[in-house]
Chain A
Amino acid sequence: MSRLAQLNSYLRLARHRTGSIWLGDDHLFIVARSGFTEKYLRIALKDAQGIFVTSTERRTLWALPAATVACFSAIALGVTWFRGDRPYISLPLLLVALIGLAVNLMMGAGTRAYLLTRVQMLSLPAMRRKGPAERVANLIEEACRRQPVPASGP
């Protein structure tokens, strides 16, 4: 369990090397990481107006090299078996590429998520695939619905 979760009873919604999203009692805590700095942003749930999810080509970009490796290793495997040798390299390589392809497909389409507030459109880190993005959006929506109706003014 991370330090943030231990100290503040946050629920981690998503994590990626570019950042993470945490759900607090009445706010979202967004950690955006770039290089060797972390930037922290807290958004009150009652200020969150909506979540945009746009599609990206991330799944295709990952599938292309994996499929290429799978194709070449399949050809090498065929040649090796045809010659009667044992496929010490091509078979493991083919398995790794196929597993990578399967995982890439299972993770869903590539996405980029944005949180709309009254004054800004925030890019949400760590919501890079359709499945996790939808799950996180649903959790945020549930948390927003649990919030009391905001009073006008400070």
Chain B
Amino acid sequence: MTVGTDLPCPRCGRRLDALCWQDAERGQCRACLADFTFKALPALVQTTEVAAAEASVIGQEATCFFHPENRAAAVCESCGRFLCPICVVEEGKRKLCPRCVALTRKAGTDLAGLGDRTLWDSIALTLAAAPLLIYPLIFVTAPVSLGTAIYGWTQPCSAVRGRKWKLVAAMTLAVLEIAAIGLGLAHLIKASSQLKSHSSYYYKAQPNYTPP
């Protein structure tokens, strides 16, 4: 018997019956025709009998992972296990299972409260680099990028890429762009004042001249 019989197709979600399997590791879904290979892990064999027993009692209802006799009421936002109301632990805005709470509270893991994170460093760097493609954006993106980088400095960064080089690069680029804007404006003001003084000199030199 194929170990993977009655598993869901990863692509379409339909149950893979025995006809879908060519051997223990390969097959093709009859519904979506997706070819697949399957590597069974030890937990599959260990839980097959338990799952069958639960199915006979509960039918098609989702049950709690820790209490198979209870109906599931929530999903752990860290590991995805189904949980009954007894097992749901609210950590801030998240609902976790007891095991994930214990794991996140374990000293030194530095993974406490991890759910998802906004990558402020990437946002700041993208905003700072956007004027390189479309230069008129510089008037908006440069100050916004600087603000985002300053805000992002105090926020938790990626758990995988902990370094803040993107924030430093974004700040540097944004400051340079703001300086360029300032220099450009100063140059414009200077040029317009020179033009004004030159035209007033011209009017004084020709008192009878009336500008159009």
- Chain A residues with CB under 8 Å of chain B are 2-4, 7-8, 20, 22, 27, 29, 31, 33, 36-55, 112, 114, 116-122, 137-138, 140-141, 144-145, 147, 149-150, 152-154
- The reply to whether A120 and B80 contact each other, CB–CB distance below 8 Å, is yes
The listed residue (A4, A36, A44) touching B123 by CB distance below 8 A is: A36
Q: Is A40 touching B47 in the complex (CB atoms < 8 A)?
A: no
Q: Which of A29, A49, A138 sits near B47, CB closer than 8 Å?
A: A49
**CB-CB < 8 A to A138: which residues of B?**
39
Tell me, rounded to whole Å, the shortest Cβ–Cβ distance linking B117 to chain A. 5
| A122 and B80 contact, Cβ closer than 8 Å, known pairs A31-B160, A38-B158, A52-B10 | yes
28 contacts between A and B (CB under 8 A): A3-B162, A8-B109, A33-B119, A36-B119, A36-B123, A36-B126, A37-B116, A37-B119, A38-B117, A41-B78, A41-B79, A42-B100, A46-B42, A49-B44, A50-B41, A52-B10, A53-B39, A54-B10, A112-B10, A116-B44, A118-B81, A119-B62, A138-B39, A141-B39, A144-B43, A150-B46, A152-B50, A154-B99
Q: Is the CB of B79 within 8 A of A43?
A: yes
Q: Knowing A121-B8, A140-B41 touch, does A41 contact B35 (C-beta < 8 A)? A: no
Q: Contact: B81 with A119, CB < 8 Å?
A: yes
Q: Give the docked Cα–Cα distance between A117 and B97 (Å).
A: 15
Please state if B160 and A47 are interface contacts (CB–CB under 8 Å): no
Residues of B within 8 A of A145 (CB): 42
* A8 x B110 contact (CB < 8 A): yes
On chain A, the residues within 8 Å of B80 by CB distance are 41, 43, 117, 119-120, 122
Residues of B in contact (CB 8 Å), total 54
- Nearest chain A CB to B5 CB, angstrom units: 12
Which residues of B lie under 8 Å from residue A53 when comparing CB positions?
A: 36-39
**B98 at interface by CB-CB < 8 Å:** yes
Contact B103 A52 (CB under 8 A): no
Q: Could you tell me if A3 and B35 are in contact, using CB atoms closer than 8 angstroms?
A: no
Instruction: Tell me the bound Cα distance from A147 to B11 in angstroms.
Output: 29
| Complex: A14 Cα to B39 Cα, angstroms | 17
Query: B119 to chain A: closest CB distance in Å?
Result: 5
Q: How far is the CA of A99 from the CA of B80 in the complex (A)?
A: 42
User: Would you call B207 an interface residue if the criterion is a C-beta within 8 Å of the partner chain's C-beta atoms?
Assistant: no
Q: If A42-B100, A47-B79 touch, does A154 touch B35 (CB 8 Å cutoff)?
A: no
State how many angstroms separate the Cβ of B203 from the closest Cβ of chain A.
56
Question: Quick check: A51 and B8 within 8 Å, CB to CB?
Answer: no
Given contacts A54-B34, A114-B10, contact A149 B87 (CB under 8 A): no
Chain B: minimal CB distance from A138 (Å): 8
Chain B residue, CB-CB nearest to A145: B42
